[in-house]
Structure 1
Amino acid sequence: MKSFSPLKILFLLCTQLCYFESLYAAKILAIFPFQGRSQYICVENYLKALAARGHEVTVISEFPQKKQVPNFRDVTIINKERLFEDFPLDDFMTTVSKWEELNWGIEYLTAPTRRVLEHPEVQKWLANGVTFDLLIVEVLQQEALYALSYHFNASLIGVSSFGTDMRIDELVGNTSPLSYVPSVLSTNSDHMSFYQRLESLYTNIVEWVHNHFVMIPLQYELYKTHVSKPTADFMAIRKNFSLLLLNQHFSMSIPRPYVTNAIEVGGFHIEHKPKALPADMEAFINANPNGAIFFSLGSNFFSKNLSKEKLAIILNVFASLPYNIFWKFEVPELPGKPENVYINKWFPQADILAHPNVKLFITHGGLLSTIEAIHYAKPIVGIPIFYDQHLNVARAQAKGFGLGVNLKTLNAEEFKDTILEVLNNPKYAQRARELSNRYHDQPLKPLEKAIYWTEYVLRHKGAPHMRVAAQDLNFIEYHNLDAIAVLFGLPLLALVFMVWASCRLWDLITEKLIDQKRKVKQN
């Protein structure tokens, strides 16, 4: 019989307490249908970790594994239309209203839902009554997909690649006080002026109206069209979430309230052991004694779609810098490319940022990129283009680990001065290290936390005890509007009645006095 020392037994007990072993192999369906690879990167390690722990994981996405992974099955969505492939980036710089900005995303958000529901495999599952233990889905206005949990008899977990907003809050009854939690469409901090609070209120009203009167009806129509036996209570089952995993952390955003089943796991996509870079990239970094800069506009937006004027500005600035520069550029040829610039359509971004000789990250300000910059303690220069990127870059400036430039008004002098300010002023790198230390100071690594709470939901059959009652309330009930109406309405009604009664009494008295005077005159 094998013996264990007391120290080893203690170690094994501590390991079990910190990171529970799965009680059983669950049957999991994960749906991440968007064409942006960064959104799938956000969850890929998480889904693989679930498979590695013995769960049977089926994933619907556009990005099947190149090598077979045990317990991991891909159901691939084919998307022939690439929404941003040839989209001119200058078009994102035009000023539009909040409503127009939300309308712009309608096809981007509804097309993935349609592709999933139309998929022959999904239709076969629905027809045959296939069930899963757990459905994991991206919470980005995909209500028809949330409702599939009802048909698959599965507990429901949502993953948000950018944290939370008004629409996501509603799914679990979370609260985001408008007085200090800014909209992701703004650049406000958590300390807002009166005007900013007014703007925050207006933005949230517009988002709520658009969600309930445009997006949810569209999702309901998709659901009714493609689900053969739709349930009538769509509005209830779309909020049947057991858990939300939020790709955010207070150390890099703001401290704010969350309900019990909304868990911050910011950075859970990052592998904590960076891989060695390809030999040519390693040599390129080390060839310059000053180090290197990494520049990427992310996986949704393409540098090749920059206007000729903007490309010329960037090329001239890069040629004048005493650094070697990696640039994610989606075509093999870039006329006028300086020798200190290395272009490629894809880079191992996290592994490059982990390299000690990489001094600066020039980024579009996507949340995954921002988190990776903090994880590896790299200062940034932000060039935000769309949605939450403006808020992320504004927060980087406020927290002191980077600066931002406006792509619309970009000029060579401003761009170069901003880059050199962040590189040459040590306060930015120092601040990046401080924030990185705060971020890493957690009792569990983000991926471990995500796995723990996922398996907690499985162990406790959907963990209904974590749900707040707000998930079962409508808008009027949640905001107590009916109670407020009664509370203030009854006194008002009483006052109206008293005024009416007083007027009526006065009329009766007046009529009686007039009658008495008439009788006196007659006598």
Structure 2
Amino acid sequence: MTRNKTCLNAFLLLGILSSVTAFNYLVVLPTGARSHYNVGSSLAKGLAAAGHQVTLISPFALKKPIENIIDVPVPGILKAMGGDIDNLLTKSAQPIIQQIVGFYDMGIRISEALLQDPSVQKLMQSNQTFDAVIDEVFLDEALFGLAEHFNAPLIGLGTFGAISWNTDMVGSPSPASYVPHALLKFSDHMSFVERVINLAFLTYEYLFMKFYYLPKQELVYNKYFPNNKKSFYEVRNNAALVLLNQHVSLSFPRPYSPNMIEVGGMHIQRQRQPLPKDIEEFIKGAEHGVIYFSMGSNLKSAVLPQEKRQALIDTFSKVKQRVLWKFEDSNLPGKPENVFISDWFPQDDILAHENVKLFITHGGLLSTTESIYHGTPFVGIPIFGDQFLNMARAEQNGYGKTVNYEDLTSERLLAAIKTLTEDPQALELVKDMSARYRDQPQLPLERAVYWVEHVSRHKGARYLRSASQDLNFVQYHNLDAMLILYGGILFVIYCLLWLIRRVWGALQNFFMGRQSSKPKVKRN
């Protein structure tokens, strides 16, 4: 009896301890793109599974209730950015400067749409408290005010890797000499011309953000958070943590502050789930394997111009493999017999199947990460954003081929497919990459949950904060110190040279004077 009572007390103690260590989080996912949502919702679900309470704000409602998650859908975001998502092909044809301006202006609309939503306003006016506010960092800096509003540490979630949007939050250095901008398809070994282009692009972005974009976000911040004690820039430069959807094995080494943590691939399922019966039978029955084709969640194959769609049909009719094609219309005129179409596929589980030999993708970070994890080579048709950089890395590493959308023809696509499916080295290279990526001491989601809990336990973990956050541009780059040091040295050198010149001139004048003062000897 005593022993049973002791065990009962132990279980009760464990229960009390678990409830004490449970935290309450606000997770804000403002982007109306499923791929971004998939990353952020994976973290929200991971925190909920660890016993924490999560309030999730996003454009997408949960398909079914999840224990410990309070869902706050904000569908107005989809309307705010609908034109940008629906017209990706049109926008990708615009000049890069015009694309950037439109891209950042979309961020202002996203921020405003979320903050003015009645559900969000109700939450802000409540007595709710949070141990941390986790916000996806994607052109929504005004939303950082939610952390200050709830007096909670700010945690950023970079859904496509390190960029000035999130590195500035924790002071991670980004040397332009070997860290290319995320929208440029350069490697970390840039030529002189590439370094010049990279520096020019980074300079343009810095000036654009400082004098055009961030002041607009500041106006939104001041409008919705008039009572916040910290200013917009103080909040932005004082994040407790940034989680990055990236991993060094998938990119290249670069410096990070200690509170910038790589958690790339936390959305990937480590155990393959059973596929729907018709898809499983289609894949298993493919004598030469299967090619999976999807242009992601934002660009629909059904809206491709007839010329490009026909190029795809012609290509797939000539390959010996079967093809799974994510096509959003039940009717595809001219569909080859070896093609299976559907408006939705369980992509992660399909890529995990041993009989899937190739992935044709738009080159998004989530898709390429999944393909690498499962050891599947891929052909990329990049359209926008970081897709060009992701495909450039794949080509540089030998397990990917790029076919530019403007140059998409049956001949070019077929050549890329044959190169990767018939070259065993491509498969070997992607398998090696997969092995490196998998070789981690803990799963990315476990690492993300740990660091979020760590910041919560230590009330924002201020000890991780870099002193660089307190420096202005001149101080950070040591321009004032270099001016004094190197300018002083140059001044001393100049003074010495001036003194030597004066002394030398004086000596010359002295000796010339002595020679001229000597009496001349008369010669016959």
Do the structures match in fold with TM over 0.5? yes
Amino acid at match of 2:441: P
What TM-score does the superposition give when structure 1 sets the normalisation length?
Answer: 0.88
Separation in structure 2 between the aligned mates of residue 416 and residue 294 of structure 1, nearest angstrom: 14
TM-score, with structure 2 as normaliser: 0.88
Deviations for 1:424-444, whole angstroms, at most 9, x for unmatched residues? 111111111111111111111
**Is 1:46 paired with 2:43?**
yes
Distance 1:381 1:374 in 2: 12
CA contact (8 A) 2:156 2:166 kept: no
1:93 Cα deviation after fit: 3.5
What's 1:57 paired with?
54
Q: Distance in 2 between matches of 1:385 and 1:120?
A: 35
Structure 2: 5+ residue runs without aligned partners? 5-13, 501-524
Aligned to 1:92: 92
Aligned pair partner of 2:402 in 401, 404, 424: 404
Match of 2:69 in 1: 72
Specify whether residues 221 and 279 from structure 1 end up closer, same or farther in structure 2 by C-alpha distance, changes over 3 A only: same
Q: Which residue of structure 2 aligns with residue 9 of structure 1? A: none
Q: Flag the 1:204–1:482 CA change in 2: closer, same or farther, 3 A.
A: same
Q: Does 1:214 align with 2:206?
A: no
Q: Distance in 1 between matches of 2:189 and 2:182?
A: 15
Q: Aligned with 2:108: secondary structure?
A: helix
Deviation at 1:130, TM superposition (A): 3.6
Matched, 1:300 2:298: yes
In 2, Cα distance between equivalents of 1:132 and 1:88: 37
Q: CA deviation at 1:176?
A: 1.5
CA offsets 1:376-426 (integer angstroms, 9 cap, x no match): 010011111111100100100111111111111122111101101101111
Distance 2:167 2:427 in 1: 34
Within 2, Cα distance between the matches of 1:426 and 1:100? Answer: 42
Root mean square deviation of aligned Cα: 2.5
Alpha-carbon deviations, 1:324-350, whole Å to 9, x = none?
A: 111112222222221221222221110
Matched-pair contact (CA < 8 Å) for 2:185–2:388: yes
How much does 1:50 deviate?
Answer: 0.7
CA drift of 1:197 comes to 0.7
Q: Do residues 223 (structure 1) and 255 (structure 2) align?
A: no
Aligned to 2:508: none
Q: Is the 8 A contact 2:250 2:437 kept in 1?
A: yes
Q: How does 1:302-451 map to 2 (within 5 A)?
A: 302-451=300-449
Distance across 1 between alignment mates of 2:48 and 2:88: 39
| Separation (CA, whole Å) in 2 of partners of 1:396 and 1:496 | 52
Kindly report which structure 2 residues correspond to 1:122-161, keeping only aligned pairs within 5 A, or say none: 122-128=120-126, 130-161=128-159
Cα deviations across residues 273-327 of structure 1 (Å, max 9, x unaligned)?
A: 1211111111111222111111111112222222111111111001111111111
- For residues 183 and 445 of structure 2, what CA distance do their matches in structure 1 show? 28
Partner Cα separation in structure 1 for residue 66 and residue 227 of structure 2: 34
**How far is the alpha carbon of 1:128 from its aligned partner?**
4.2
CA shift in 2, pair 1:21/1:338, >3 Å: farther
Give the whole-Å Cα distance in 1 for the aligned partners of 2:119 and 2:495. Answer: 65
Instruction: Measure, in 2, the Cα distance between the counterparts of 1:176 and 1:274.
Output: 37
Paired AA for residue 276 in structure 2 = P
Amino acid at match of 1:70: E
| Counterpart in the other structure of 2:102 | 104
Q: How many residues align?
A: 486
Deviates more, 1:302-311 or 1:475-484: 475-484
Secondary structure of the equivalent of 2:198?
helix
Of 480, 483, 504, the residue aligned with 2:478 is 480
Distance 1:483 1:129, change over 3 A: farther
Equivalent residue of 2:292, what SS?
strand
Q: What is the match of residue 240 of structure 1?
A: 238
Per the TM alignment, residue 475 of structure 1 is displaced from its structure 2 partner at its CA by 2.0
How far does residue 56 in structure 1 lie from its aligned partner after superposition? 1.1
Please say which of residues 480-489 and 389-398 is displaced more in the overlay: 480-489
Q: Which amino acid aligns with 1:336?
A: G
Asked if residue 29 in structure 1 is aligned to residue 31 in structure 2, the reply is no
How far apart are the structure 2 equivalents of 1:297 and 1:328?
A: 8
The one-letter amino acid paired with 1:234 is F
The amino acid that maps onto 2:269 is E
Q: Residue 470 in 1 paired to residue 476 in 2?
A: no
Partner letter of residue 225 of structure 2?
A: V
Asked which structure has the greater RCO (Cα within 8 Å, sep 6+), the reply is 1
Whether the 8 Å CA contact 2:179–2:254 is kept in 1: the answer is: yes
How far is the alpha carbon of 1:488 from its aligned partner? 4.2
Q: Which amino acid in 2 is paired with 1:30?
A: V
CA contact (8 A) 2:376 2:430 kept: yes
Is the deviation greater in 59-68 or in 433-442? 59-68
Conserved 8 A contact 2:375-2:431: yes
Structure-2 separation of matches of 1:199 and 1:410: 27
| Residue identity matched to 1:61 | S
- Identity level (%): 43
**Separation (CA, whole Å) in 1 of partners of 2:217 and 2:229:** 14
Cα displacement (A) at 1:234: 1.7
Deviation at 1:205, TM superposition (A): 0.5
Q: Is the 8 A contact 2:167 2:173 kept in 1?
A: yes
Structure 1: which 5+ runs fail to align?
3-15, 503-523
Distance 1:123 1:183 in 2: 36
